[in-house]
Structure 1
Amino acid sequence: MAPKQKTCKVCEEAESKYKCPSCLIPYCSLLCFKKHKEIPCSKPQSSSQDKSSPPAPAVHIEKPYDVDEPDVLLQQEQLETIASSSEIRDILKNAELQKLISKIECSAEAEEELYKAMEVDAFRIFTEKILSTIGPKV
C-alpha cells in the first residue's frame, strides 16, 4: 500500500514536500510558503498530549469573503510593499498583535473581532503603518 500523498494546504493543488517550521502546515513551494507567511502563524499548542505522538498541524481554513467594492482590494504591488516592509515585519513580532490577528482569523464572527481589535493600540498602530506604507490608492 503506497503512502498517502499530502496536498499543499496553501494552493490545494500540488503535492506538499515541506512543512512550515512554525505551524507544521504542509506546502509545496517557496511561493506557497511566502503566501502562507503573509499571516503570522505559530506552533500548535499541545494540551496534555502524549509526548510520543507528534503534534497535530494547525489547520488553515479558507474562508469565503464578500467584497462590496472590489476596487478597494489591495493589488499585488501593494501586498509586496507590505511584505517587504521591515517596519511592518517588526510590528508583527508583537505577541499581543499576533493574538489579535489570530483571533480575527479563527473567529466565526471575524468582523466583530476586527472591530474589537481596532480599539487596541497595537492593532491601530499596525493598521496605520500598513496604510501609510501602501499610500493612497491611485
Structure 2
Amino acid sequence: MAPRQCQICNLAQSKYKCPSCYVPYCSLICFKKHKESPCVKPPTSEAKTAVVSESPVVKPLTVGKSNLVLQKSQLEAIASSSEIRDALNDKSLEDLIRRIDSSPNAENELEKAMAEEAFHLFTEKVLSTINPKP
C-alpha cells in the first residue's frame, strides 16, 4: 500500500487523518489550514442496510497506479456476495477493519491483521470474488 499524500499541501506524505472528515494531512500547520474552513463528518450508518452500494464512500482516495483500483464489475461482485456480507456482520471483523482504516499506519495494521485467521479468510473470500478462477 502506497503512502497517502497530504491533501492540504499536496507535497508531503500524510501521517494523520482529520478526525471529522478523514482527509489526510502531514502536519499541525496543514491541519490548522484545513480547519480554517468547516469540514463535514461522514454520515454514520445508524441503520445498517444489507445493500452495500447504499453506503457511499466519502473519504478522498488518491491512488498512484490505476491498476490498483477495482473495476465497477469487481465492486459489484463484492457487494452482491452473500458470503462477504455475512462475514461483515461479525463485530470483531468490523472493528478490525475500522482499526486498519483509522490507523495513521494502515499498512502496518493490515500486516498485523493478516495474522488473524478470520481476517485472512475474509481477504481470501474478497480476492476469490474479484478474481474468480475459470
- Whether TM-score is above 0.5 comes out as yes
The answer for unaligned runs of 5 or more in structure 2 is 1-39
Distance of 1:65 and 1:115 partners within structure 2 = 21
What stretches of structure 1 move > 3 A for 4+ residues in a row?
A: 7-10, 63-67
Aligned length: 92
Select 1:35's aligned residue among 55, 75, 86: 55
Q: Which residue pairs with 1:108 in the alignment?
A: 104
Q: Which residue pairs with 2:87 in the alignment?
A: 91
Distance of 2:41 and 2:95 partners within structure 1 = 25
Deviation sequence 1:36-79 (CA, Å, 0-9, x none): 3x7xxxxxxxxxxxxxxxxxxxxx7x254443x32132101100
Q: 1:20 to 1:136 in 2, by over 3 A?
A: closer
The answer for unaligned runs of 5 or more in structure 1 is 1-6, 11-18, 24-32, 39-59
Considering only aligned residues, what root-mean-square deviation do their CA atoms show, in Å? 3.2
Give the C-alpha shift of residue 109 in structure 1.
0.8
- Greater share of residues in helix: 2
Select 2:73's aligned residue among 50, 73, 77: 77
Distance of 1:106 and 1:8 partners within structure 2 = 14
3-state SS of 1:83 partner: helix
* TM-score normalized with structure 1 length: 0.55
* TM-score normalized with structure 2 length: 0.56
Counterpart AA for 2:120: R
Counterpart AA for 2:55: K
